[in-house]
C-alpha cells in the first residue's frame, strides 16, 4: 500500500492510497510512525483521498496515530475521507476524540 509524505513547517501529511485492511495496516503504521518520529510534527494529517476501502484495521491505524501524536504533544487530523469512510469513523466513535475529520 503506497503512502507518500509531505513535510512543511510543523505539519506532516501522509497521503494514503488503496485499501486499508489487516494486510496493509502494519506497513502503513510503520511508515507513518517512522516519518512522524523523524520530523516530530505538531500536526499529523492523514489524507484519505486515495483510500477506496477501510475495515476496522483503518480505525486502529487512526487510533494508534492519535495516541502517537498525543505522546509527542501534537495533534491528528484526518482529511478528504469519503462519506462512507467518515460514517465508519463516526460509528467507531472517532468523532468523540479531539481528532478533526474533514
- Which residue intervals of the chain are DSSP H helices? 25-39, 56-71, 83-91
For 34, phi and psi rounded to 5 degrees? Answer: -60, -45
Q: Look up the domain containing 52 and give its range.
A: 3-101
67: which 3 cell numbers? 495516541
- List the pLDDT tens digit at each of the 102 positions of the chain: 689 999 999 999 999 999 999 999 999 999 999 999 999 999 999 999 999 999 999 999 999 999 999 999 999 999 999 999 999 999 999 988 888 787
- Domain count across the chain: 1
> What CATH number does the domain containing 42 carry?
3.30.750.24
User: Is 0.85 surpassed by the pTM of this model?
Assistant: yes
The predicted pLDDT at position 98 comes to: 84
Amino acid at each position: 500500500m503506497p503512502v507518500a509524505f509531505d513535510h512543511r513547517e510543523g505539519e506532516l501529511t501522509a497521503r494514503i492510497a488503496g485499501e486499508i485492511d489487516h494486510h496493509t495496516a502494519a506497513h502503513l503504521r510503520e511508515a507513518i510512525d517512522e516519518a512522524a518520529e523523524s520530523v516530530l510534527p505538531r500536526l499529523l494529517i492523514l489524507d484519505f483521498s486515495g483510500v477506496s476501502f477501510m475495515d476496522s484495521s483503518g480505525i486502529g491505524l487512526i487510533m494508534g496515530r492519535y495516541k502517537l501524536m498525543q505522546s509527542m504533544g501534537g495533534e491528528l487530523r484526518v482529511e478528504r475521507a469519503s462519506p462512507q469512510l467518515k460514517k465508519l469513523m463516526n460509528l467507531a466513535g472517532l468523532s468523540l476524540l479531539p481528532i478533526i475529520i474533514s
